[in-house]
Chain A
Amino acid sequence: MANFYTDNTDIKFHLEHPLMKKIVALKERDFQDAATREDAPRNFEDAMDNYDKVLEIVGEICGDVLAENAEDVDAEGPRVVNGRVEYAPGTRQNHDVLTQAGLYNMSLPREYDGLNFPIVPYVMAAELVSRADAGFGNIWGLQDCAETIHEFASDDQKRRFLPRGARGETYSMDLTEPDAGSDLQAVQLKATLKDGQWLLNGVKRFITNGDAQIALVLARSEEGTQDGRGLSMFIYDRANGGMTVRRIENKLGIKGSPTCELVFKDAPAELCGDRKLGLIKYVMSLMNGARLGVGAQAVGIAEAAYREGLKYARERFQFGKAIIEFPAVYEMLANMQVKLQGARSILYETSRFVDIYKTYTHLATERSLEKEEREELKKYQKLADFYTPLLKLFASEYANEIAYDALQIHGGSGYMKDYPIQRLARDARITNIYEGTSQLQVVAAIRGVTTGHYLKQVREVYELLPVQPGLEPASEALKGMTAEYEAAVATVTAAGDPEYVDFHARRLVEMIGYIIIGYLLLQDASRRESYAKSAALFVKYGQAKVAAHAAFIRNFQTEDLEAYKKA
């Protein structure tokens, strides 16, 4: 009888962000569907009420069905039978219930049997699903693929494929291979054109939900090429045969999500979009969506882990009192909570940026944009590009830290398989690995450091916002942190050595992350008083981290680099 949406007012708080007014009006094209569609909102309030009501359904299903099934799904996992995947019974039930509830195709337009929801409430649903069962979050979250088809496929393909998601068919994105993991330019799976029909041949590995009905497959369509420019994107329909599942990986966590090795043998497929743009354009778009999804997944796991830690600390008595009364424990819990809230703030800030630029992108296919609109598109796309890796990095690392601390609070019991926390700790561990490791998020984010984009956002937006009375010390601390960051960036870039920048990149990216999340929580506090404490605590925590990084960089000589090299 739990509802994961109504029991967590933080989510509704972010849903009610002032920028939603702009997002909803854009997404609904000023509510033009209301005249013809009975399920379309008539105005902003009506739309927001829809999101609220639908998230309540998501929250109820998460609490009553997904969370209840999670332990069994973790123990049983999926199986391969005759080259096909069979989900664990709980996974199947989760999927069926969410299909009945109409919770697939959430962000697609109504003409494709979508709900036409903005990214923000869709990401909220992803957070809720992942709090209940992070592994299932992958299967559900692969509806992201529909976004890519919607953006890049032909009208005919959109009409044929997109409505299928609403009827319970699932997706997979088949990118990685045994020798092409982080380095997707090395993809070898071959696509050959024979009598006007593309055929796929080769092997894909580590494919989440690999036995989906509809797959987006990255394949080498240009014979003789070796790099990313020879790769195209294909839509593969499982109904046409030619693909079998060789095996399922035995993973540490997210056990309910089948991670497959696939063999394609003359599997017929159709080209999606233009040849040769597979990696450089479509996968990049797919990956940004997936990183937002992993951010949501990480926040969902973090929420679940924090709750487990808090509950145990209140219930467990040692030395005559609940262990939450000991400073060592309550400090841990306080830091866990503010990390969780900080990660959630940057998750929804990023989601709002994505919402605005994606909607403008679609709008641009319907009519030519005004100059002002084109500028907004560019501005928000840039923000989304810089915030996505920052979000993925912080949310996934925090999910791990929070799960680690929550397990620690459980003491010996946490190490046993008797409590949900052990599952959450295992599930969290993948979030900072897949869809780009933390190290690769740093690579994506460092440009925003060296080009000054992050700093610009801090100086020109965040620093100018009014500060709630009482939070002046936090605001001053953030200014000090920003100065330290600026100095550190200057020191690192002054050397003019790219390797030196790479070496310190994570430190610099983390520094700006603490600053940005600090500012976001400060803004949250201006809308809801209870965040004042979180903002103050987070800034205290971040301030110490920034100081440590700054000291390391200050005391580091270029010659020191040699001592670290092992190769």
Chain B
Amino acid sequence: MKELKIVVLAKQVPDTRNVGKDAMKSDGTVNRAALPAIFNPEDLNALEQALRLKDAFEGVSVHILTMGPGRAAEIIREAMYRGADGGYLLSDRAFAGSDTLATSYAISRALKNLQYDLILCGRQAIDGDTAQVGPQVAEKLGLPQVTYAEEIQRVEHGAITVKRRLERGVEVVTCPLPAVVTVNGSAAPCRPRNARLVMRYKYAKAPQEAREVTGEYAELLDRRPYLKLTEWSVNDIRCEAGELGLNGSPTKVKTIENVVFQAKESKVLTVDDAGIDELMKELITNHTIG
């Protein structure tokens, strides 16, 4: 394999895993201010698959493509702290309000600016949970897609072999490149941030952010070009304005209901010693017994 260019699609999402009372605004949209912004968990699984290929073969490059406001550049830095080579921030007011269709349109247009052999992304994001963007990007680019991937087992002769985790078992498929692969949360967890890479890349900035940097750090950005992240607006990608943002989004949210759980979800225990141990521990912890 001479070289392999990987683009990982990643999204900055509100951390919906610890949702408080003020997670939603009265108008039914997510209150992003109340929830910390994090790297979408399954996108991290996708990044790890990319980095493993980079570890295993010479000539593999890994870049992030993310769409969002200026602060979404943090996702690119987070990926670089883990070993990615760089990234592209797709950022413009015209993208605001995009549903999955408009998002995948913008992303696929941005990908046309890039060379790639493999596009990786998480199965779904924890804010919308649609699992649509990856497959839609594949459709729009006319690429084959492998969903629910758990492990990329081989890359050879212009094809990848991927293990898929399905509801009732495991399937191993081979697919020609270029291709889009969406990765499950059950895949290997992403490696941690590396201390040395954090120190090397912590001043990396997208142009939007760089405008606020002054003095010696502005100078630093000039002297170390790898600290300048690429940022694209609508003008940088070839696209139709009508397909973008709210205009390009057929999905309309009609109403949002707050669901209050009446009873706790039921819990299934395994019928063995480990299951009994777990139950005992829980009953002791909540002082039902003991």
Question: Does B238 sit at the interface, judged by CB under 8 A?
Answer: no
Please report the C-alpha to C-alpha distance between residue A103 and residue B192 in the assembled complex, in whole angstroms.
Answer: 11
The stretch that binds B, out of A50-58, A344-352, A381-389, A500-508, is A50-58
Whether the pair B195, A57 counts as a contact (CB closer than 8 A) is yes
- Where the two chains meet, the residues of A that have a C-beta atom closer than 8 Å to any C-beta of B are 1, 38-42, 49-50, 53-54, 57, 60-61, 97, 100-103, 115, 315-317, 412-413, 416, 418
Question: Does B140 sit at the interface, judged by CB under 8 A?
Answer: no
Residues of A within 8 A of B191 (CB): 97, 100-101
Other than A54-B198, A316-B287, A413-B284, give 13 A-B pairs with Cβ distance below 8 A. Answer: A39-B197, A42-B220, A57-B195, A60-B192, A97-B191, A102-B196, A102-B197, A103-B195, A115-B196, A115-B199, A413-B290, A418-B281, A418-B284
Whether the pair A115, B195 counts as a contact (CB closer than 8 A) is yes
Whether the pair A1, B198 counts as a contact (CB closer than 8 A) is no
Question: Does B18 sit at the interface, judged by CB under 8 A?
Answer: yes
Please report the C-alpha to C-alpha distance between residue A57 and residue B216 in the assembled complex, in whole angstroms.
Answer: 26
Whether the pair A101, B290 counts as a contact (CB closer than 8 A) is no
Question: Does B154 sit at the interface, judged by CB under 8 A?
Answer: no
Whether the pair B192, A53 counts as a contact (CB closer than 8 A) is no
Whether the pair B224, A38 counts as a contact (CB closer than 8 A) is yes
Residues of A within 8 A of B200 (CB): 38-39
Please report the C-alpha to C-alpha distance between residue A419 and residue B194 in the assembled complex, in whole angstroms.
Answer: 33
Whether the pair B284, A102 counts as a contact (CB closer than 8 A) is no
**A125 nearest in chain B by CB position:** B195
Question: Does B17 sit at the interface, judged by CB under 8 A?
Answer: yes
Please report the C-alpha to C-alpha distance between residue A102 and residue B83 in the assembled complex, in whole angstroms.
Answer: 12
Please report the C-alpha to C-alpha distance between residue A344 and residue B194 in the assembled complex, in whole angstroms.
Answer: 27
Most chain B CB atoms below 10 A, which of A61, A100, A315, A412 = A100
Residues of A within 8 A of B281 (CB): 418
Return the contact of A1 from the options B18, B193, B195 (Cβ within 8 A). Answer: B18
Please report the C-alpha to C-alpha distance between residue A49 and residue B199 in the assembled complex, in whole angstroms.
Answer: 9
Residues of B within 8 A of A49 (CB): 202
Return the contact of B192 from the options A42, A61, A316 (Cβ within 8 A). Answer: A61
Please report the C-alpha to C-alpha distance between residue A38 and residue B196 in the assembled complex, in whole angstroms.
Answer: 9
Q: Mark B164-203, 1 if CB is under 8 A from A, else 0.
A: 0000000000000000000000000001111111111010
**B290 nearest in chain A by CB position:** A413
The A/B interface has a contact count, at CB < 8 Å, of 56
Given A1-B18, A38-B200, A101-B287 contact (CB < 8 Å): no
Whether the pair A53, B202 counts as a contact (CB closer than 8 A) is yes
Residues of A within 8 A of B290 (CB): 412-413
Residues of A within 8 A of B193 (CB): 57, 101
Please give the distance in Å from A50's CB to the nearest CB on chain B.
5
Please give the distance in Å from A169's CB to the nearest CB on chain B.
17
**B281 nearest in chain A by CB position:** A418
Whether the pair A100, B18 counts as a contact (CB closer than 8 A) is no
Residues of B within 8 A of A413 (CB): 284, 290
Whether the pair B196, A1 counts as a contact (CB closer than 8 A) is no
Whether the pair B202, A101 counts as a contact (CB closer than 8 A) is no
Whether the pair B17, A1 counts as a contact (CB closer than 8 A) is yes
Given A1-B18, A316-B287, A413-B290, A39-B192 contact (CB < 8 Å): no
The 7 closest A-B pairs by CB, nearest first: A102-B195, A39-B199, A101-B192, A102-B194, A39-B200, A54-B195, A100-B191
Residues of B within 8 A of A101 (CB): 191-195
Given A1-B17, A97-B191, A418-B284, A53-B196 contact (CB < 8 Å): no
Please report the C-alpha to C-alpha distance between residue A317 and residue B191 in the assembled complex, in whole angstroms.
Answer: 41
Whether the pair A97, B196 counts as a contact (CB closer than 8 A) is no
Please report the C-alpha to C-alpha distance between residue A317 and residue B287 in the assembled complex, in whole angstroms.
Answer: 9
Please report the C-alpha to C-alpha distance between residue A558 and residue B27 in the assembled complex, in whole angstroms.
Answer: 84
Return the contact of A50 from the options B199, B220, B280 (Cβ within 8 A). Answer: B199
Please report the C-alpha to C-alpha distance between residue A57 and residue B290 in the assembled complex, in whole angstroms.
Answer: 38
Please report the C-alpha to C-alpha distance between residue A38 and residue B202 in the assembled complex, in whole angstroms.
Answer: 11
Residues of B within 8 A of A97 (CB): 191-192
Please report the C-alpha to C-alpha distance between residue A316 and residue B290 in the assembled complex, in whole angstroms.
Answer: 11
Residues of B within 8 A of A54 (CB): 195, 198-199
Q: List 14 A-B contacts (CB under 8 A).
A: A1-B18, A39-B197, A39-B200, A49-B202, A50-B198, A54-B198, A60-B192, A61-B192, A100-B191, A102-B195, A115-B195, A115-B196, A416-B284, A418-B284
Please give the distance in Å from A38's CB to the nearest CB on chain B.
5
**A57 nearest in chain B by CB position:** B193
Please report the C-alpha to C-alpha distance between residue A61 and residue B194 in the assembled complex, in whole angstroms.
Answer: 11
Q: Mark B12-25, 1 if CB is under 8 A from A, else 0.
A: 00000110000000
**B191 nearest in chain A by CB position:** A100
Q: Mark B206-219, 1 if CB is under 8 A from A, else 0.
A: 00000000001000
Most chain A CB atoms below 10 A, which of B199, B202, B281, B284 = B199
**A102 nearest in chain B by CB position:** B195
Please give the distance in Å from B222's CB to the nearest CB on chain A.
14
Residues of B within 8 A of A57 (CB): 192-193, 195, 198
Please report the C-alpha to C-alpha distance between residue A49 and residue B202 in the assembled complex, in whole angstroms.
Answer: 10
Residues of A within 8 A of B198 (CB): 50, 53-54, 57
Please report the C-alpha to C-alpha distance between residue A136 and residue B193 in the assembled complex, in whole angstroms.
Answer: 20
Most chain A CB atoms below 10 A, which of B196, B220, B224, B281 = B196
